[in-house]
Amino acid sequence: MSTIKVDGIRSNSASSDAITLASDGTCTANITNRTNKNLILNGAFQIAQRGLSSTSSGYHTVDRWNIQNGNTGVTVTQSQQATSSSDEPYQNGFQNFARIALSGAGTTNTNAYMEFQQRMEAQNIANSGWNFKSSSSNITVSFWFRASTNQTFYGYLTTSDGTAQRYTFSFTASGNNAWTKITKTISGNSNLDFNNDNGEGLHLVLTPFYGTDFTNNKTLDAWAASDNTNFMPDMASTWLTAGASTFDITGVQLEVGSVATDFEHRSFAQELYLCQRYFEFLKFNYYFVTGYYEGNGNPRIPLHWNVEKRTTPTVTLPSVGTGSGEIQVTNSGGAYDTSSTTLAANHITQIFCKIHGSGYGGSSGTVCSLYLASANSGIKISSEL
């Protein structure tokens, strides 16, 4: 029997080893098709339950992405967009991307900010396989981005548990309007803490612009205590002031390991299911769910979520009435019960709530239903971080 003694195996054309062998007889292999590796949800921007475009700041379009802006002196639109066949991400299997677009040239106010942000549960990081307190254990972030006007941009990771820590890195494109793939490998640090719970543990932020209230002389590529007056070095305003600028991202992946492996493409159904842990839009048209009158005039209608929520959610009902997009109770005969417009979500849990009404006309014990004459409205259930 023969033994081959080597420290690593790599392709002639590769820049890193496919298999690395350790002195204790174990090895590490860079396998690109493993499942459940991406700690980012909706990194390909397939899911947009709330809508396709919005000029508001926050969670309004692509799921799990908190796209924020303020004090820029210009209208900022966030949206889900479709790639074209000439786009390099399209050729790598990405049909969608997220965009921040300006209506014109922005103003470099000191308190201006603009960012894509995703917040991750602490338990997902704690149980990811990353030895986060060790400087020899790594995670790698990768993404595609395109900016209408190129400059140096910044991204960062911030922890939430223990003493908050931040790691900031820079990135730039190969040119204006040029899709560029960015990869960044980040080592662990003894100051990092992640609780084994469903609270926020880590967030990733990619920033087209921050004003000087939030920037200074931040050291790049190193963990340090979080300082909310010094997220990153002072930023150029080239992109912000150029005019109707755009900033696009897709293929965002955060994985354990020192190599950016192929993106984990998930089916639409699987991605939607994962996103609905944090937000679910119960859309319905016409009759939705049946309940009963508890006592005269008091409808009680149960609702069950499709996916168990991260924590007890906030439930937002449409306006009560009979107009388009409004919700109302119907009686056992199928007619609107317009005796009242008082409906509210009660007994809210991670899997269920009950819609309570009062002042309606139905008799105790008879059947009632929720009715909504619109396919584009519904009940919003949110347990976002």
Any idea where the domains of the chain sit in the sequence?
Answer: 1-30, 36-275, 279-382
Angle at alpha carbon of residue 98, lines to 68 and 175, rounded to 5° = 100
CA of 320: how far to CAs of 100, 284, 338, in Å? 34, 15, 10
* Tokens read off for 155: 């991204």
8 Å CB contact between 260 and 253 = yes
Give yes or no for residue 81 having a pLDDT over 70: yes
% of the chain beyond a pLDDT of 70: 95
| pTM, to two decimals | 0.92
In b/e form, how buried is each residue of 61-80, taking b as 16+ CB within 10 angstroms? bbbbbbbbbeebebebbbbb
Confidence (pLDDT) at 30: 64
Q: What confidence category does residue 23 fall into, taking pLDDT thresholds of 50, 70 and 90?
A: confident
Confidence (pLDDT) at 28: 65
Give yes or no for residue 21 having a pLDDT over 90: no
Strand extents, DSSP E, 61-136: 66-70, 76-82, 96-102, 113-121
Give the mean model confidence (pLDDT) for residues 151-159.
98
By 3-state DSSP, what share of the chain in percent is helix, strand and coil, each rounded to 5? Answer: 5, 40, 55
Give yes or no for residue 35 having a pLDDT over 90: no
8 Å CB contact between 327 and 337 = no
8 Å CB contact between 141 and 98 = no
Q: How far apart are CA 177 and CA 146, in angstroms?
A: 6
Give the mean model confidence (pLDDT) for residues 362-381.
89
Confidence (pLDDT) at 87: 98
Confidence (pLDDT) at 288: 74
Span between the terminal Cα atoms of the chain, in Å = 57
Give the mean model confidence (pLDDT) for residues 32-57.
92
161-216: per-residue pLDDT in tens? Answer: 999 999 999 999 999 999 999 999 999 999 999 999 999 999 999 999 999 999 99
Confidence (pLDDT) at 358: 97
Domain over 36-275 is classified CATH 3.40.640.10: no
Q: What confidence category does residue 250 fall into, taking pLDDT thresholds of 50, 70 and 90?
A: very high
